[in-house]
Amino acid sequence: MPKTISKKKSNTVKLKFDTTWKYAPAPESKSAATIKPQYDLFINGEWTKPSGGKYFDTINPANEEKLSEIADANATDVDSAVKAARNAYEKVWKKMPAKERAKYIFRISRIIQEKARELAIIESLDGGKPIRESRDFDVPTAANHFFYYAGWADKLEYAFPNRSTEPLGVAGQIIPWNFPLFMAAWKIAPALATGNTVVLKPAETTSLTALKLAEIIQESDLPPGVVNIITGAGATGAAIVNHPDINKIAFTGSTEVGKIIQRAIAGTNKKVTLELGGKAANIIFEDAPIDQAVEGVINGIYFNQGHVCCAGSRLYVQESVAKQVIRKLKDRIESLIVGDPLDKNTDIGAINSRQQLETIHKYIKIGKQEGSEMYESSCALPGKGFWCRPTLFTNVAQSNRIAQEEIFGPVLAILTFRTDDEVIEKANNSPYGLSAGVWTDKGSKIFNMTKRMRAGVIWANTFNKFDPSSPFGGYKESGFGREGGLHGLLPYLNLVG
Amino acid sequence: MTDKKITMGKTLIKKSSLSISENGLEKKSSSKRLEVLKTYKIYIGGQFPRTESGRYYVPTNAEGKKLANVCLSSRKDFRDAVVAARSAVSGWSGRSAFNRSQILYRMAEMLEGRKAQFIDELILQDSTKAKALKEVNLAIDRLIYYAGWCDKFQQIFSAVNPVASSHFNFSVPEPTGVVSIIAPQGDSLLGLVSVIAPVIAGGNTCVVLASETKPLCSVTFAEVLNSSDLPGGVVNLLTGKVSELASWYVDHMDVNATIYCENDSTIQKMMREKSAMNLKRIIFYDKVKWGTDEGQSPYFIMDTQEIKTTWHPVENIAGAGSSY
């Protein structure tokens, strides 16, 4: 890329991104994927029509076109699914030797890998995320998550010293629309590995990859009823949460709904884990490798259109480097390509739904009203569909709503700080505590910061890194319970003395 | 096929039993196809050479039937194998633990696909059909078992140590390097798989001496390894005599650990003495019942791991006290 040396007195080079050539379209073909015109509910190993006879449309948020019709499960359907899961648990799954359970889960992982391309395309069509992300992150990580947990099934006796383990029974799992297949893997894999059976509800705007997963589960010959996938919206989710024969609820979604669930199960014996929202602080110290830190911040908030619970949505930059960092951020967002999710050049895809876009617009308006300065990239946006340009706010105060409330979109709030004490206090000054980022070259400062941050996942000189063996989860109102790693087994087990 | 009589005038000419029909050569009365016999070679660096010594020995089964002309490996074969194993260490231990688990799982896939061949070889080497099936199934399941441990044993055996000074201090297992193994001698397959899997699951490479009397499955198992995306040199398999090779297995200066699976006390004593030269770790698995659950455990992985402890200072700002 041609470089232009800025005429200003600073000694940093400004990179010019408007080059002499444009990116040629690089569309991924849809031909590798098959989407049926209508999907039923996957209960007891079979496709069952919804008892209310109702279906709802699922659309492609990039062009608002209908992709398929999804069954709407009512309370009767939820009951059938739970009965199937209970039956499978008592009669088959609980009795099966653990190493045989493991082999089914390995099979599911291998088949996901075989069908990786199809799943990536459907994920991008249904949810709006760029194909590069579905292909390189969502699908392989989902496959790996099944593969990792399969290995634990027959090794639980080693996991918790002086305790033997028992599964809980039937797990009701409700997952969000930001990483549909990946979240399904995070929920189903540990539940099966620990000997539980599952009733899972994907988000209503992104059901397709979960339904494809149901087909894969059928293909793996998993005994009927061990995994049941039922589609629907809030009412279906509530029916699952309230069902008396569910032993455990696992929920990933907004803090608001997490609190509703917590109240709903009060007085019952149900166990629960919640993985909720966040407002992560990403902290750049003056001795950080600045260009890498800028890339890290960009990835932290604009990856997956900012629809990430652990997104680095607050940037705290040390005053001495603030001007430089902010200028680099503004330059960098100009180069981000907002466009067709199926184009391999796209960096930022479509916002998942009209509703979410309206929420983001609301916060952008609030930010301006509160007195912060908004800056957005100048890229063109496609006509139809739901789109938002990468946006950042400067001159944000700690108590501004855009610094405290989760926006869940490509909007970054930038604040400054002078001392370590100050930024630690400000970063922790949030009801949330899911993740945090620290950028500095000084190792001892990293470990001090990681120790002081009240958050469940701390990234030092990196961001948005995930691994099946690495436990993930929040402090405070970002939820409780961990997913991934050895600690991720606990939510699905009773430890017996 | 009957003899054809050709009548030429008054003479009867009997044709040979090998008659030429209008369609071409037809064979003798029994239509038996000659079997192509397998040459049992050794496995070094991902290749199948013969022993450099050119020697062979002929193990027989309990009924006295000759099994094959099997390579009688030499000291030089062992040294070549150690070179291959050492050069494979950085690649193999440098792979992600997850990748190692994928490869061990692939070994199970390949072994499952060739079950019938192993069952035949086991039956030839004094097993029954039922026992052979059980042994092969257990060998496959054991590979899957260890595949699952590759990226998990670290979480059980590592520690973050709460030292009193302001340091982040952690201890992790690391592979010891090249392991020489004298496999269980009474087993053709299960014992072999049971000693190899934990060693490579932990990131080591190895040179293995197969069972002297039942070597067939080890060579066929090398073919399974070779088709499993396992890099060459990670597992090297030799066949030959324990009495000739044992001392070379234990006194090689570039071997980090030796595993011996029999209970010959003379050999055990010799091994303890000779290993002192470079302080290689000596491990005896002489009492293990490989056919039971006792034959698999993450502790077998830990036997060929070292523990590394690392310290890093922690700045003290905004909170008193030490560290993690």
Q: Is B319 on the interface with A (CB under 8 A)?
A: yes
In a domain, A265, yes or no: yes
Separation between Cα atoms, residue A145 and residue A191, nearest integer Å: 12
Closest CA in chain A for residue B314: A444
| Alpha-helical runs (H) found in A290-442 | 290-302, 319-334, 354-369, 401-404, 420-428
Segment A35-39 shows an average pLDDT of 98
3-state secondary structure A171-187: EEEECCCCCHHHHHHHH
Segment A303-311 shows an average pLDDT of 95
Instruction: With cut-offs at 50, 70 and 90, classify the pLDDT of residue B10.
Output: very low
| Beta strand residue intervals within A334-395, DSSP E | 373-376, 391-394
Q: Are residues A408 and A362 in the same domain?
A: yes
What distances in angstroms separate CA B85 from CA A66, B236, B283, B307, one per listed residue? 57, 7, 19, 21
| Alpha-helical runs (H) found in B39-189 | 75-94, 97-113, 115-124, 129-149, 153-157
Domain that holds residue A437: 278-460
DSSP H/E element including B309: strand B305-313
Picking from A104, A202, A93, A116, the residue whose alpha carbon sits closest to that of residue A147 is A104
Per-residue pLDDT of A88-104, as tens digits, reads 999 999 999 999 999 99
Q: Are residues A283 and A263 in the same domain?
A: no
Instruction: With cut-offs at 50, 70 and 90, classify the pLDDT of residue B14.
Output: very low
ipTM: 0.92
Q: How far is CA A382 from the centre of its chain?
A: 25
Separation between Cα atoms, residue B159 and residue A299, nearest integer Å: 31
Average pLDDT of the residues of chain B: 91
Q: Are residues A323 and A229 in the same domain?
A: no
Does CATH place domain B56-313 in 3.40.605.10? yes
Q: Are residues A91 and A129 in the same domain?
A: yes
Q: Are residues A238 and A148 in the same domain?
A: yes
Separation between Cα atoms, residue A314 and residue A79, nearest integer Å: 42
Cβ-contact A96, A65 below 8 angstroms: no
Cβ-contact A236, A206 below 8 angstroms: no
Separation between Cα atoms, residue B61 and residue B68, nearest integer Å: 10
In a domain, A468, yes or no: no
Answer yes or no: is pLDDT of B1 > 60: no
* Residue A309 bears catalytic tag: yes
In a domain, A80, yes or no: yes
Q: Are residues A270 and A374 in the same domain?
A: no
Nearest CB to A486: which of B105, B155, B168?
A: B155
Nearest CB to A150: which of B98, B148, B315?
A: B148
Average pLDDT of the residues of chain A: 95
Q: Are residues A178 and A304 in the same domain?
A: no
Q: What pLDDT is recorded for position B323?
A: 66
Separation between Cα atoms, residue A446 and residue B168, nearest integer Å: 11
Which residues from B are below 8 Å from A159, CB to CB? 156
Q: What pLDDT is recorded for position A3?
A: 55
Which residues from A are below 8 Å from B158, CB to CB? none
| Angle ∠(B263,B266,B272) on CA atoms, nearest 5 | 90
CATH number assigned to the domain comprising residue A434: 3.40.309.10
Cβ-contact A78, A230 below 8 angstroms: yes
Q: Are residues A333 and A362 in the same domain?
A: yes
Which residues from B are below 8 Å from A424, CB to CB? 317-318
Let me know how many helices (H) and strands (E) chain A has, helices first.
15, 22
Residues in chain A: 497
Cβ-contact B121, B220 below 8 angstroms: yes
Structure-token pair, residue B114? 């060739």
Per-residue pLDDT of A319-334, as tens digits, reads 999 999 999 999 999 9
Separation between Cα atoms, residue A493 and residue A166, nearest integer Å: 5
- A155 with B148: Cβ contact below 8 A: yes
Q: Are residues A96 and A69 in the same domain?
A: yes
Cβ-contact B183, B246 below 8 angstroms: no
Per-residue pLDDT of A252-300, as tens digits, reads 999 999 999 999 999 999 999 999 999 999 999 999 999 999 999 999 9
Pairing between strand A391-394 and A411-417? parallel
Answer yes or no: is pLDDT of B300 > 60: yes
Q: DSSP secondary-structure letter at A343?
A: B
Separation between Cα atoms, residue A15 and residue A328, nearest integer Å: 9
Separation between Cα atoms, residue B267 and residue B193, nearest integer Å: 22
Q: DSSP secondary-structure letter at A470?
A: S
Closest CA in chain B for residue A467: B98
In a domain, A400, yes or no: yes
Segment A460-471 shows an average pLDDT of 97
Picking from A182, A146, A178, A194, the residue whose alpha carbon sits closest to that of residue A61 is A178
In a domain, A122, yes or no: yes
Q: What pLDDT is recorded for position B276?
A: 96
Write the CB contacts of A321 (distance below 8 Å, at least 6 apart in sequence). A284, A286, A288, A290
Cβ-contact A313, A412 below 8 angstroms: yes
Q: Which of A118, A309, A388, A477 is an active site residue?
A: A309
Give the CB-side neighbour count of residue A192, counting CA atoms within 13 A: 33
Please tell me the pTM assigned to this model: 0.92
Q: Is the dihedral of CA A449, A454, A460, A463 positive or negative?
A: negative
Phi, psi of A179 (to 5 degrees): -140, 70
Q: Is A102 on the interface with B (CB under 8 A)?
A: yes
Structure-token pair, residue A487? 């600690």
Structure-token pair, residue A40? 């039923």
Q: Are residues A159 and A267 in the same domain?
A: yes
Instruction: With cut-offs at 50, 70 and 90, classify the pLDDT of residue B30.
Output: low
Q: Are residues A187 and A232 in the same domain?
A: yes
Alpha-carbon torsion, ordered B234, B239, B244, B248, to 10 deg: -10
Structure-token pair, residue A436? 């945090």
Residues in chain B: 324
**Residue type at A344 in one-letter notation:** K
Domain boundaries, chain B: 56-313
Q: In what order do the strands lie in the sheet with A373-376?
A: A373-376, A391-394, A411-417, A314-318, A281-284, A435-439, A457-460
Nearest CB to A420: which of B155, B312, B317?
A: B317
Answer yes or no: is pLDDT of A55 > 90: yes
Biggest CA–CA distance in chain B, Å, is 122
Q: Is A418 on the interface with B (CB under 8 A)?
A: no
Q: Are residues A359 and A271 in the same domain?
A: no
Closest CA in chain A for residue B324: A451
In a domain, A258, yes or no: yes
Write the CB contacts of B89 (distance below 8 Å, at least 6 apart in sequence). B175, B177, B178, B204, B205
Which residues from A are below 8 Å from B323, CB to CB? 447, 451
Segment A370-399 shows an average pLDDT of 95
Which residues from A are below 8 Å from B144, CB to CB? 99, 102-103, 106
Cβ-contact A77, A243 below 8 angstroms: no
Which residues from B are below 8 Å from A420, CB to CB? 317-318
Contact pairs from chain A to chain B, CB under 8 Å: 83
A68-104 b/e (C-beta count within 10 Å ≥ 16 → b): bbbbbbbbebbbbbbbbbbbbbeeebeebeeeebbbb
Give the end-to-end CA distance of chain B in Å, rounded to a whole number.
88
Q: Is A460 on the interface with B (CB under 8 A)?
A: no
Nearest CB to B323: which of A150, A425, A447?
A: A447
Answer yes or no: is pLDDT of B19 > 60: no
Per-residue pLDDT of A195-252, as tens digits, reads 999 999 999 999 999 999 999 999 999 999 999 999 999 999 999 999 999 999 999 9
Nearest CB to B318: which of A421, A447, A469?
A: A421
Domain count across chain A = 2
Counting Cβ atoms within 10 Å, is residue B70 exposed (0-12), middle (13-18) or buried (19+)? buried
Answer yes or no: is pLDDT of B28 > 60: no
Per-residue pLDDT of A178-187, as tens digits, reads 999 999 999 9
* Residue A275 bears catalytic tag: yes
Answer yes or no: is pLDDT of B3 > 60: no
Per-residue pLDDT of B156-182, as tens digits, reads 999 999 999 999 999 999 999 999 999
Segment B33-61 shows an average pLDDT of 96
Answer yes or no: is pLDDT of B18 > 80: no
Alpha-carbon torsion, ordered B45, B49, B52, B58, to 10 deg: 120
Region of residue A413 (phi > 0: left; psi between -120 and 50: alpha; otherwise: beta): beta
In a domain, A36, yes or no: yes
Q: What pLDDT is recorded for position A8?
A: 53
Segment A392-420 shows an average pLDDT of 97
Separation between Cα atoms, residue B72 and residue B203, nearest integer Å: 29
